[in-house]
Structures are given as C-alpha cells and as structure tokens.
Amino acid sequence: MAVSRFQIAANKKTALLKQQMREVAVMLAEDPPREEKARIRAEALIREDNAVEAYEILQLACELLAERIKLITSMKECPADLVSSISTLIWACDRVDISELSLIKKQFRAKYGKKFEENAVNNVGGILNERVVSKLSVQPPAAYLVQVYLQRICEQFEVNWKPANPLTADQMAEPMAAPVGYSVQVAGGTGLGEVTSVITGMEDTDQESGYSKGGGGGSIGGDDGYGGGGGYGGGGYGGGGMAAAPSHMPSTVATPIIPAAPYNPPSVDTRSQGGSKANDYEEVDIFVPGIPTAPTGTKDDNQSTKGGSTGDASYDDLAARFNQLKK
C-alpha cells in the first residue's frame, strides 16, 4: 500500500508543478515583471521538486522491504543491509503525507524496540539516507538555485527576462533575501502609476518618483516659449520641456503660511441713492387715510336750524290760531 500511495502522491505533485511553472512564466512576462513573487514561487517549486525526489527514494525502500519481508520476520535483529532503509522510513514518517508510514513505524518499533526508533529519529551514526535527509530538510534553498530555476522556466516558455538585481558571489550560497517590494508597481490598483509626480525640491524623492533633470539648461519663459533644454525625461513642452530644478535648491522647501485676510463687508455708496446709510434701515412712511367722521348734523337738525330764527314767530301764529279755535 505504501508503494502505491507514494506513486500517487508523486504524480499529483508533478502535475501541480507544471501548472505552477506556467504561472511563474506569466509573472516574469508581465511589464514590469513580478520578479520577487516569482522568486518565492520558484522556492516553493524547489521544495516540491525535492519532495517528489524523496518520495521516489522512499518508494524504492518500501519495495525492498516488501521483497525481503520473509527475511525480516525470520530474524530477531534487523539485518545490517536493511538498517539504513528501515531507519530512513522511520525518520521520514513525520515529514511526508503518507499515512502508511505511521503503521510501518509502529511495527518496527514493536519488533526492534524503542531504542532502535530513537537512533533512527536522531540519525545516530549517520545511518539515514543522506539524499532523503537533504531533500526533506526544512532549510531554504540557495539563492543561486532559485535563480537557475527562474532562468530554466524562462527558456522553456520562451520568456525574455533578465534579473533586475543580479546576484553577487556572496549571495549565491546564501538563502534568498527577503523581498523589499522593488518589483511592486506603484499605484497598481488604479493604474495611475505612470503619472509624473510634482517636483518636491528633494532630490532623492524626485528621482524615485520618475523625475529626471535632463540637460540643456532651458527655462520656462525662454525666447522660444517653454525652455530649450532639460525637463521631464529630456522631453518637454515646446520642444525643450520644463526646466530642471536648480542645483542650489535646498533639500527641503518650506511652504510659507499666508494669514487669511479679515473679512470686510462691501460698502454701499448711499450718495448715489440720495440718502444716508442710516435711512436705509429706517421704517418707510406709508400714508394711511383717516377714518371718516360722522357729519355734525342731520337733515332734520339742519331744517330745525333753519327754522330757529323764526321759532318765535311760528309760536305766535300757533297761539293765535289756537285762540281763534276757542272762540
């Protein structure tokens, strides 16, 4: 069972390795190439490649034990020529994803004792297979091996790629350095990474943001429009580009703080309106006609007034008439 399980696991890893190699080639073919991520993937490829190699060696050891099972059962002690194979299987039990090795480990511990198991786990006397120990080691691969894997992948998939930071002689034997992000695109989420940054006056910052000083010594407002030399990347407006930042510019430019001017309400010219400013806020005189009063006298009063002058005469007439009636 262990032999067939090793074969299945090796085939599965091999299929995944081919797919991962294609993904690494795509990363290196991009513009700009994602080199740091490709290096990490290449390190994973090396680890999986080593695991497949170790699986094949352990598979051979299992096949050998299956052929000599009768010899093992007939002898109380472990045969000298099988010590390395059995010890290697016991040591690899906790380092591979093969469940059958756990059962093999228990059976050999029950037959040869706990001391034999401890010697196998601790590699006492160097009895383990050195190649299996090396391939299943937890130590990261050398940077040179990672570089070779990337170059082989580019050759296989016909990708034109060269490392941005070539390895030095001291770095080749050491593990791959931790990524710093130099291959990560600026503003990759929005796609605005190519927008030219504003000149800050700080030399290091301007160079990092893509600003180059250019040559020629042109300036804005020259005889032929926008200056005749220097500018963004040597190009420019009007043939010469914008002028380069002066070399005597300080490392930091302090932005002056301009205090805000106090607010003054606009003045109103009252002379053109024919009045003073105070009159604009006075109440406007509105003419309201008065309530008409009742006349001082009625028609009867008028008539009585007209007859007032002859009141005495009318009375005498009435008295005379009254006296005549008595007679």
pLDDT for res 275: 46
pLDDT for res 131: 95
Confidence bin at 187 (pLDDT 50/70/90): confident
Tell me what the mean pLDDT of segment 38-67 comes to. Answer: 95
pLDDT for res 286: 61
pLDDT for res 73: 92
**Does residue 78 carry a pLDDT above 50?**
yes
| 157: amino acid identity, one letter | F
User: Measured between alpha carbons, how far is residue 103 from residues 89, 106, 107, 246 in Å?
Assistant: 11, 5, 6, 77
**Does residue 93 carry a pLDDT above 70?**
yes
Confidence bin at 222 (pLDDT 50/70/90): very low
Q: Where are the alpha helices (DSSP H) in the chain?
A: 2-29, 35-67, 69-74, 83-92, 100-112, 114-121, 130-135, 143-157, 169-172, 203-208, 299-306, 311-326
How much of the chain, in percent, has pLDDT values that exceed 90? 44
Lowest mean per-residue pLDDT among 45-49, 269-273, 312-316? 269-273
Confidence bin at 260 (pLDDT 50/70/90): low
pLDDT for res 318: 81
| 221: amino acid identity, one letter | G
How much of the chain, in percent, has pLDDT values that exceed 70? 63
Tell me what the mean pLDDT of segment 200-205 comes to. Answer: 47
Greater model confidence, 15 or 259: 15
Contact yes or no for 61/101 (Cβ under 8 A): no
pLDDT for res 182: 83
Average model confidence (pLDDT) across the chain:
75
What pTM did the predictor assign? 0.57
Q: How is residue 126 written in tokens?
A: 């160097």
**Does residue 215 carry a pLDDT above 70?**
no
**Does residue 173 carry a pLDDT above 60?**
yes
Q: How do residues 236-250 score in pLDDT, each as one tens digit?
A: 444 444 444 444 444
pLDDT for res 214: 43
What's phi and psi for 288, nearest 5 deg? -120, 115
